[in-house]
Structure 1
Amino acid sequence: MRIKPKSPREALQPEQAPAPPQRSRHVRNPLVILINLVITLAVFGLATVGGALYFGKKKFEEAGPLATDATVVISSGSGLSGITDRLAGQGVIDDSMIDEWIFNLGIRFYKNATNLKAGEYAFAPGVSMHQVMTDLVEGNAVTHSVTIPEGWTTAQIIDRVRKHPVLVGEITDVPGEGALLPETYTFARGMTRQGVLDQMKAAQDKLLAEVWERRTSDLPVNSPEELVILASIVEKETALADERPRVAGVFVNRLNKNMRLQSDPTILYGLYGGEAWLKDRSAIKQSELKAENKYNTYQIDGLPPGPIGNPGRAAMEAVANPSRTLDLFFVADGTGGHIFAETYEQHQANVRKWRKIERERRQQQQNQETQPATSN
C-alpha cells in the first residue's frame, strides 16, 4: 500500500502521544484497596510498636535518676502500683507518667508482677529499672543482725532482743534457760522479736542433737539436757576457747570422783536467776557463798537443777569431748587464763600465787588513786 507523503506543514507538527492504558479492573476493586490499606497500616503499626519496644527496653535498662544512695521500705501486700509510687517518691525511678508506665510494663513483660518481695532495699545512685526489678524479685533486701554472746542468760538475751530498734512485735513465748544458741543472727526489716527467738531455739535444738551424737561414751552426763547444764557452767568459768576442753575435763573428773563442782557462777545464778549478770558484779561475798540455794555447787552434789546460761557451740563440744587429764582444780593466773592442778596441795600453791597478784594489783590501784595529779 502506498503511503501518502506528509506536507511540509504536517511534518513539522509533533505526533500525538498515545493514550494511557486503562486501569485494570482488579486494581479498581474495593477489596484490593482495603487489603492494601490494611497492609500499610500493619506495617506502620509494627514499625511503631517496634520503636516503642526499643525505646522502652532502652529506658528500662539505662541508668536511672537516683543521685544518692537511697533506702526504700516495701511493705508486705503492696501492689505493683503501690511499689511504683514508693520508688518514684524516693527518686529511684522518675515520677513522670511515661517512666512509671515503662516500669510497670517492664515488670509485667518479665512476668514478675506477683514476684516482688517486701523488705528494706538499698539502691545505689543511677540504679536502672531492670536492676530494681531484679532486687525486688530476688529479695536482695538490707539485712540487720543481733549478736548474742556465749554464756548469756535468757534474761540477758530477751533484754537485747527487746531493745533492738529494727525488730517488731512482742515476745509471747520466753524460752527456758539454756534453750537458745548464742550466735549472730541476720534478718530483714519486719522480722518479729519472737521470730528471732524461735530461730535461736531451733538452732540450739539442731546443734545439741548433733553434739550429743558425737559425745564420748564415758561421760558422767545422762542426757542432752545435762550436757547443756555442764556446758553452761564451763562457759561461765572461762572465756578462752582453748581452755574450755580442759575446764570441762576438770568438772568431768570431779563428777566421776563424786566431788562437788564448786563453781562460783552457780552461786550467783541460784541467788539472782537469769538477771545475775545484767549488772557488773564484784567478787562473791561470804554471805552469798553461805546462803542456801539449790544451784550452789559448793552445797549440792552433782549438777545443779538447770543451766545457768546459754552455752555456745564450743562449750558444748568441750563437754561432749573433754580433755583427758587428771586435773581436779583450777584458779585464775592473772592473765585471763587459769592454772590447773591435779592435787589439792598444788591447787593451794596456785591460789596463794593468785592472791598475791590480786594484792599487788589492789596496791598499785591505790597508789594511782592517791598519787597527786601533775600539771603541765
Structure 2
Amino acid sequence: MWRHVAANALTFLTVGLFLLAGLVTWGVQQYSAPGPLAEAICLRVPAGATMRRISDDLAERGAIASPTVFRLGADYTERSGQEKQGSFLIPASASMDEITAIVTEGGPSTCGTEVVYRIGVARTLAEVRERDLAGDGFTELAEFQPGLDPIPAAYEQVKAESDTTYRVVMAEGVTSWQVVQALNALDVLEGDVEEVPAEGMLAPDSYAITPGTPVADVIARMQSAQETFLAQAWENRAEGLPFDTPEEALTLASIVEKETAIPEERPIVASVLVNRIEQGMRLQFDPTIIYGITRGQGLLDRPIRESDIAGATEAELHGEVLYNTYVVNGLPAGPIANPGRPAIEAALNPAATDYLYFVADGSGGHAFAETLDEHNENVIRWRQIEAEAGQDG
C-alpha cells in the first residue's frame, strides 16, 4: 500500500515538474516575444516608481499582455529595482524584455517634452517641443524670446513636469557677452554672472542642463570644452602656419567663422587669411571693424562708415585701434567671436590655395580670386546681382 502511495506521489511530482517547466518556458517565450503595442507610446517613469507601477501602467496602455510575467521577467534578469526616472519611447511591438531594458538602462529621456534655449547671433530663442512619436521629429508647442516676450502657458506647464528635459544650444559666431546675457536671462538657471569670459573661449555646442544649475557652471563647461578642443586641434595643426600660439589660431578661426557659414568654404577662407599674412597684406575684413566698435556687445545697428574703415570711430571710442584689420597689420588683438570646431580646424589646417580675395557670389557663397583684377571682376558681378535684386524687390 505504501509503495502504491509513493508511486502515485512520484507520478504527481513528475507531472507537476513537467507542468512547471512548461509554464516557465511559456513565460520566457511571452517575455521575449513581440508585444501587443500597435503604436509607439511615451512612458513616463516618475522618481521612485516600482516595477509593479510600471507594469500596471504598461498593461493599462496595451503595451504588455501580463504585468505578472513582466515583473517576473525583470526579477529573473536581475533588473528589478534598477528603474530610472525619465520619459522613454516604447516602440510598437516592443517585447517585455526590450521594455525592461529601456526603463532600466537610463540615459537621457527619449521622448516627452523638452525646452531648447538657442543662443544665436541675433537673438536667443526658447523652443518648447514634444517628440513626434510617429516619426523622428518634434511638435512645437511654443516659442518665445526669454526676457523679452510674454511667457507662454505651454512653457509654464512643461516646467511643472518633472521629466521635462532642458538644453542650451550655442551657435557658432556668438560673442561671449551675448552668451552671458542669454544665460542670465534663463529662469531655469541660477546666479547671474557679471564677468564676461575671454572672447573665443566658449565652445559652440549643445549642453544638457537641469533647473537650478548655476550660470557659472554652464559657462565653465563651455570653457572647458573649448580649451580641450583647441589643445587637440593645435597638436594636429599643419606645418608652417604664420602664427605661433593657439590664441592666434583662435583669432583667425573667429574671422573665418564670421566670414562664411558654408562648411566647405571654411578651409578656403582660412587660406586667404594665411596667404595675406604671409605676403604682408592687411586682412581687411569688415567683421573686425564691427567688433572694434561694439566689442561684441550686440549688433551694429547701422552700416559701416568710411570713418569706421579708417579707424577714427574706433580710436575715439577706445583710444586705440586694435581690431580693425583695415588699419592694423596681421591679426587683430584677439578673437571677434566664439568659433566652432570646424572653423578652428580650418584655421589650423587651411586649404592649399593661392587665393588672396573673395566676395559674395549671390548664391550664399563666395567667389575667390588670386589676383586683384579677377577680384574686381567678381565684385562687378556681385554688384550687378545686388542691383537686379533691388529692381526685383
Q: What TM-score, normalized by structure 2, do the two folds share?
A: 0.63
Tell me if structure 1 keeps the 8 A contact 2:42–2:87. yes
Structure 1 gaps, min length 5 = 1-26, 369-376
1:39-98: CA deviation from partner (whole Å, max 9, x where unpaired): 46644643453344244334323444434321113345544334334434544235xxxx
Instruction: Provide, for residues 212-248 of structure 1, a one-character-per-residue CA deviation record: whole Å limited to 9, x for no partner.
Output: 1232333222221221111110121123444333322
CA distance in structure 1 between the partners assigned to 2:248 and 2:233 by the alignment = 13
Match of 1:112 in 2: 79
Structure 2: unaligned runs, 5 residues or longer? 117-166
Q: Secondary structure at the match of 2:74?
A: helix
Alpha carbons of 1:353 and 1:59: their partners in 2 closer, same or farther (altered >3 Å)? closer
Change (3 A) 1:41 1:201: farther
Q: 1:170 aligns with which of 165, 170, 189?
A: 189
Quote the Cα distance in structure 1 between the aligned partners of 2:209 and 2:96.
Answer: 22
Q: Hey, what does 1:231 align to over in structure 2?
A: 253
Name which of 215, 223, 226 aligns with 2:237. 215
Matches within 5 A, 1:202-351: 204-274=226-296, 276=298, 283-286=303-306, 289=309, 290-292=312-314, 294-325=322-353, 327-335=355-363, 336-343=365-372, 351=379
Deviation at 1:176, TM superposition (A): 5.0
Deviations 1:182-231 (A, max 9, x none): 46x597999x8989877765554444233212323332222212211111
Map of 1:23 onto structure 2: none
Q: Percent identity?
A: 37
- Between the aligned partners of 1:159 and 1:35, the Cα distance in structure 2 is 85
The 5-angstrom pairing of residues 78-117 of structure 1 reads: 78-93=49-64, 99-117=66-84
Alpha-carbon spacing, 1:348–1:64, altered in 2? closer, same or farther (3 Å)? closer
The answer as to whether partners of 1:64 and 1:128 remain within 8 angstroms in 2 is: yes
Task: Give the one of 73, 85, 106 matched to 2:44.
Answer: 73
Deviates more, 1:101-110 or 1:264-273: 264-273
Amino acid at match of 1:284: I
Q: What does 1:3-152 align with in structure 2 at a 5 Å threshold?
A: 27=1, 39=10, 42-43=13-14, 45-75=16-46, 77-93=48-64, 99-139=66-106, 142=110, 149-152=171-174
Comparing 200-209 and 99-108, the one that deviates more: 200-209
Taking the aligned partners of 1:188 and 1:38, their CA distance within structure 2 comes to 65
Corresponding letter in the other structure for 1:106: G
Please, which moves more after superposition, 84-93 or 213-222? 84-93
- Give the structure with higher Rg (CA): 1
CA RMSD of aligned residues (A): 4.5
> TM-score, normalising length from structure 1?
0.66
Conserved? CA contact 2:44–2:86, under 8 Å: yes
d(CA) in 1 for partners of 2:278 and 2:190? 41
Residues 52 and 241 (structure 1 numbering): CA distance in 2 closer, same or farther, change over 3 Å? closer
Alignment of 1:182-197 (within 5 A): 182=204
Structure-2 change in CA distance of 1:124 and 1:253 (3 Å): closer
Q: Equivalents in 1 of 2:4, 2:335: separation in Å? A: 93
Task: Report the 3-state secondary structure (helix = DSSP H, G, I; strand = E; otherwise coil) of the residue aligned with 2:233.
Answer: helix
Q: Give distance in 2, aligned partners of 1:224 and 1:50.
A: 68
SS at match of 1:304: coil
| 1:161–1:114 distance in 2 versus 1, CA, 3 Å | farther
Q: Secondary structure at the match of 2:28?
A: helix
